[in-house]
């Protein structure tokens, strides 16, 4: 039996301790408390110190904790009323060799980090900065001792500092081990200066996020990153797109198209064979359709398009047709399109999505999310909607034009909504424009036993509604946990609002107000089936 002063042999293995301390860190939801726990472990014994330090410093939300380790750093406060102004870290004197030794002993442990210069730059997932970093600190850290590597093990960095004084320090962050680089928030001036450094220094990059709307053309450098799998970028030249399409591990791209690609040069050599996710931002749908002609991937799972100009029905028909040809339809899971333009003088004729166009979507039988937030309106009734729903058994989120509204009377009724949820048992989110003026349904069990408890909100766009009481009774039977009904929030102005929009909007608010009371009644109608009640049901069934 080991004495009380002897440590268990398993705890002498550094890798085991790192895993244990990482579990301690992840289980504590309070980040500050987790950090205090790890700091205490560092001081517990020599065996714990190095593994606990590795976990404590591995993933930093910002560089602030690292900089505050330097003894000669102090905090200054500016007199300002702006809530975005933070205390600033500055140097009291020049960095000594002892200061550098302390800084480097901690920086070598950092694997991921964020760099933010103000509260405005904070990332929603990572820690927001508690201090600003003074320019004098950036300049000092940009001149490390000879032959030293500041971040030898850094794998991931998010950078938002667009000050010129930060460029030199940023180059020190770029190491051969770097796999994730997010500089999507920096300005064009810094962007153009640091890009050449990235191509030469970071051969292991797997994930890269560049400014989405920058009009600085990237050099053709993607061939230098053979491991690249995820790319977010602004406009790319045709030659750069070709290089991107040849990457052997590319799984996701999110890029901006500011002009029509040169189809003659691109179509000859279709690429992107490993692509799983495609996000395109373009002027109109023609740009997107042209780009799709060079994509050929059986792995495509997600396609999203964001357009500045409105899409016609013909444009959407062509886009769906080329998409069917460029992927394996049954494997596509997410399909979204959103445009921000106005319907032209040809509305509604040139902007009418007919059942023939929508039936093309039935070949995507694996869809879990479908969102068509376009300028177009719909020629859709209960029968056509049912035919679509039958082909989407895995659908979880569906939105058909509810964001901008249909701007004309829908032929889909509450019966059509019921048919949709009957054939799509996985539904969690629904957006659909309906005609709920007449509720020709049973008042007792309007859902006929169909219930979708996961649906908590319903978006109805510019739907017309009649009796709020009858509609609330219907919805509460199908959606027992429905809490909100979103109506007319994005419709109006130049989007051709329907007649009596205010009246229908008020009625939908009344439906929403009535839902909690109806939900309580429905809960009493469907009590939970516990062991005793289940036994009672079985006995009753046996007697029958």
pLDDT digits (tens, 9 = 90+) for 514-539: 988 887 777 766 655 455 444 444 44
- In whole numbers, what is the pLDDT of the chain averaged over residues? 83
Domain final residue, candidates 359, 394, 413 = 359
Whether residue 106 lies inside any domain: the answer is yes
Whether residue 223 lies inside any domain: the answer is no
Q: Evaluate whether 442 touches 478 at the Cβ level (below 8 Å).
A: no
- Tell me how many domains the chain contains: 4
Shared domain for 32 and 65, answered yes or no, is: no
Shared domain for 393 and 525, answered yes or no, is: yes
Shared domain for 323 and 282, answered yes or no, is: yes
Tens of pLDDT, residues 304-346: 999 988 889 999 999 999 999 999 999 999 999 998 877 666 6
Least confident of 125-129, 192-196, 250-254, 467-471: 125-129
Q: What is the mean pLDDT of residues 138-157?
A: 91
Q: Is the pLDDT of residue 494 over 60?
A: no
Structure tokens at 245: 């399409």
Shared domain for 420 and 515, answered yes or no, is: yes
Q: Is the pLDDT of residue 217 over 80?
A: no
Whether residue 142 lies inside any domain: the answer is yes
Shared domain for 190 and 70, answered yes or no, is: yes
Structure tokens at 213: 């709307």
Q: What is the pLDDT of residue 126?
A: 41
Domain that holds residue 291: 233-359
Shared domain for 194 and 142, answered yes or no, is: yes
Q: What is the pLDDT of residue 123?
A: 42
Whether residue 364 lies inside any domain: the answer is no
Whole-number percent of the chain with pLDDT over 90 = 38
Whether residue 312 lies inside any domain: the answer is yes
Write the DSSP assignment of 269-322 as a string of letters.
S-B-TT--EEEEEESSHHHHHHHHTTB-BTT--EEEEEESS---HHHHHHHHHH
Whether residue 214 lies inside any domain: the answer is no
Shared domain for 96 and 76, answered yes or no, is: yes
The region that residue 231 occupies, defined by phi over 0 for left and psi between -120 and 50 for alpha, beta otherwise, is: beta
Q: What is the pLDDT of residue 261?
A: 60
Tens of pLDDT, residues 408-462: 889 999 999 999 999 999 999 999 999 998 766 666 667 777 888 899 889 999 9
Angle (CA) 440 443 444, round 5°? 140
Structure tokens at 412: 């889909």
Q: Is the pLDDT of residue 284 over 80?
A: yes
Shared domain for 48 and 75, answered yes or no, is: no
Shared domain for 156 and 278, answered yes or no, is: no
Q: Which residue has the higher pLDDT, 83 or 162?
A: 162
Whether residue 536 lies inside any domain: the answer is yes
Shared domain for 28 and 131, answered yes or no, is: no
Shared domain for 195 and 252, answered yes or no, is: no
**Three-state DSSP class for residue 91:** strand
Shared domain for 76 and 169, answered yes or no, is: yes
Q: Which residues contact 249 (CB under 8 A, 6 or more apart)?
A: 206, 226, 227, 228, 229, 274
How far apart, in whole angstroms, are the C-alpha atoms of residue 141 and residue 135? 10
Q: What is the CA radius of gyration of the chain?
A: 29
The structure's pTM equals 0.83
């Amino acid at each position: 039996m080991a004495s009380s002063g002897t440590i268990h042999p398993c705890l002498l293995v550094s890798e085991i301790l790192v895993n244990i301390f990482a579990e301690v860190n992840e289980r504590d939801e309070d980040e500050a408390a987790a950090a205090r726990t790890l700091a205490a472990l560092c001081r517990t014994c020599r065996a714990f110190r190095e593994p606990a330090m590795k976990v404590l410093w591995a993933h930093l939300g910002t560089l602030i904790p690292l900089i505050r380790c330097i003894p000669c750093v102090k905090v200054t406060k500016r007199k300002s009323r702006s809530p975005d102004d933070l205390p600033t870290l500055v140097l009291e004197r020049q960095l000594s060799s002892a200061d550098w030794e302390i800084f480097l002993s901690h920086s070598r442990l950092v694997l991921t980090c964020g760099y933010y210069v103000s509260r405005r730059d904070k990332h929603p997932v990572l820690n927001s900065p508690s201090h600003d970093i003074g320019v004098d600190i950036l300049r000092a850290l940009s001149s490390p001792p000879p032959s030293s590597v500041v971040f030898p093990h850094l794998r991931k960095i998010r950078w938002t500092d667009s000050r010129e004084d930060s460029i030199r320090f940023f180059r020190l962050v770029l190491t051969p081990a770097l796999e994730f680089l997010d500089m999507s928030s920096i300005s064009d001036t810094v962007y153009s200066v640091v890009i050449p450094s990235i191509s030469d220094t970071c051969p292991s990059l797997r994930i890269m996020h560049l400014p989405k709307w920058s009009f600085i053309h990237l050099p053709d450098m993607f061939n230098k990153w053979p491991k690249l799998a995820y790319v977010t970028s602004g406009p790319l030249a045709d030659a750069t797109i070709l290089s991107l399409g040849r990457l052997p591990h590319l799984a996701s791209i999110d890029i901006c198209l500011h002009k029509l690609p040169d189809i003659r040069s691109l179509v000859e050599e279709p690429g992107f064979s490993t692509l799983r996710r495609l996000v395109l931002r373009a002027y109109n749908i023609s740009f997107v359709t042209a780009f799709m002609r060079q994509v050929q991937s059986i792995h495509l799972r997600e396609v999203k398009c964001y357009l500045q100009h409105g899409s016609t029905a013909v444009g959407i028909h062509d886009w769906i047709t080329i998409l069917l040809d460029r992927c394996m339809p049954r494997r596509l899971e997410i399909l979204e399109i959103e445009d921000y333009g106005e319907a032209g003088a040809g509305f509604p004729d040139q902007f009418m999505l007919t059942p023939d166009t929508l039936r093309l979507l039935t070949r995507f039988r694996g869809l879990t999310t479908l969102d068509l937030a376009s300028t177009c309106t719909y020629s859709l009734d209960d029968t056509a909607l049912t035919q679509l729903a039958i082909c989407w058994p895995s659908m979880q989120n569906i939105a058909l034009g509810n964001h901008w509204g249909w701007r004309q009377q829908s032929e889909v009724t509450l019966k059509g909504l019921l048919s949709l949820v009957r054939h799509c048992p996985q539904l969690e989110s629904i957006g659909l424009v309906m005609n709920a003026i007449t509720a020709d349904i049973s008042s007792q069990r309007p859902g006929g036993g169909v219930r979708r408890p996961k649906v908590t909100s319903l978006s109805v766009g510019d739907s017309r509604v009649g009796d709020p009481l009858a509609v609330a009774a219907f919805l509460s039977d199908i959606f027992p946990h429905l809490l909100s009904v979103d109506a007319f929030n994005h419709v109006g102005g130049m989007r051709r609002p329907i007649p009596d929009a205010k009246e229908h909007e008020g009625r939908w608010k009344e439906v929403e107000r009535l839902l909690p009371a109806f939900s309580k009644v429905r809960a009493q109608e469907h009590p939970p089936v516990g062991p005793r009640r289940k036994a009672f049901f079985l006995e009753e069934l046996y007697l029958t």
